[in-house]
């Protein structure tokens, strides 16, 4: 029997209008929708799915089989590896029935997304996989601010905020995007202040989602939730 294909589908950062036609067609086509569990993006990705299905014709949720895949929020490599193997096993069992799966992911699958471990493992096992890119949170945040991420020959650096080499990374030429901001807001503001970059920094929280917040001056921001991006322009030219 012909084996199914695994589609890793980028759902974009929140606004269901930011789904691509390609993502939409994969969602409509696949009889099985895989939703990651125990990941902060889970509810949001599922919400985007439901919102998109409510707005556009062609995606009938009650005709789909839902497959839950567990991605625990931990840095324990052994726990993660076990979870990825279990999820791959579950997906493979469905693909063996000749059924295609759409594994949904917040933002873009190629940017800090757990689905790619499954994609890699499934591909290693000899199945066909397709990755459908999505609008990233940083593109959407910059668009929301009406501001470029990078111009001319400027480099652009994407930085997870929990790293301990943030001061060095802030010294790299070009604009920066700070991701995974919560719990690090205080430290980041101090580090940006020390580099003279505080006035160049803006924050967008829950871009395109209910409760969206846009701050063009992060000196006003004390704390923030999970779906936050800080954009730091190289030059304070806005």
Task: Identify the three-state secondary structure at position 79.
Answer: helix
Q: Which is nearer to its own copies, 35 or 231 (CB)?
A: 231
Out of 22, 90, 125, 195, which residue is the one contacting its own copies (CB under 8 A)?
22
232 binds its own copies (CB under 8 A): no
Phi, psi (deg, nearest 5) at residue 228: -125, 145
Q: Please, what is the minimum distance in Å from the beta carbon of residue 128 to its own copies?
A: 10
d(CA 166, CA 171): 9
d(CA 95, CA 79): 24
The pairs formed by 48-53 with CB atoms below 8 angstroms and a separation of 24 or more are 48/11, 48/12, 48/14, 48/15, 48/16, 48/19, 48/104, 48/106, 49/11, 49/104, 51/16, 52/11, 52/16, 52/19, 52/24, 52/27
Out of 28, 99, 157, 197, which residue is the one contacting its own copies (CB under 8 A)?
157
Out of 135, 201, 221, 232, which residue is the one contacting its own copies (CB under 8 A)?
135
Out of 29, 50, 82, 163, which residue is the one contacting its own copies (CB under 8 A)?
163
d(CA 59, CA 79): 35
60 binds its own copies (CB under 8 A): no
d(CA 232, CA 54): 36
Count residues contacting its own copies (CB under 8 A)? Answer: 58
Segment 95-134, which members bind its own copies (CB under 8 A)?
A: 108-113, 116, 119-120, 123, 129, 131-134
Q: Please, what is the minimum distance in Å from the beta carbon of residue 102 to its own copies?
A: 14
14 binds its own copies (CB under 8 A): no
Contact positions vs its own copies (CB under 8 A):
10, 12, 15-22, 24-25, 52, 56, 108-113, 116, 119-120, 123, 129, 131-136, 139-140, 142-144, 146-160, 162-163, 165, 169, 172-173, 180
């Amino acid at each position: 029997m012909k084996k199914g294909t695994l589609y890793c589908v980028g759902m974009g950062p929140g606004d269901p209008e930011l789904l691509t036609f390609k993502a939409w067609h994969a969602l409509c086509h696949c009889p099985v929708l895989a939703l990651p569990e125990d990941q902060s993006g889970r509810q949001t990705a599922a919400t985007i799915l439901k919102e998109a299905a409510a707005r556009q014709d062609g995606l009938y949720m009650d005709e789909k089989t839902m497959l839950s895949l567990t991605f625990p929020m931990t840095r324990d490599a052994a726990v993660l590896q076990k979870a990825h193997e279990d999820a791959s096993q579950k997906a493979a069992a469905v693909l063996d029935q000749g059924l295609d799966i759409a594994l949904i992911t917040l933002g873009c699958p190629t940017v800090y997304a757990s689905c790619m471990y499954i994609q890699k493992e499934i591909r290693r096992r000899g199945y066909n996989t397709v990755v459908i890119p999505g609008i990233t949170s940083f593109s959407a945040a910059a668009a929301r601010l009406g501001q470029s991420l990078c111009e001319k020959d400027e480099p652009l650096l994407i930085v997870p905020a929990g790293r301990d080499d943030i001061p060095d990374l802030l010294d790299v030429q070009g604009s920066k995007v700070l991701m995974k901001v919560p719990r690090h807001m205080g430290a980041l503001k101090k580090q940006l202040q020390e580099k003279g970059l505080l006035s160049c920094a803006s924050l967008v929280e829950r871009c395109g989602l209910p409760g969206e917040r846009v701050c063009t001056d992060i000196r006003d921001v004390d704390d923030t939730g999970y779906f936050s991006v800080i954009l730091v322009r190289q030059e304070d030219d806005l």
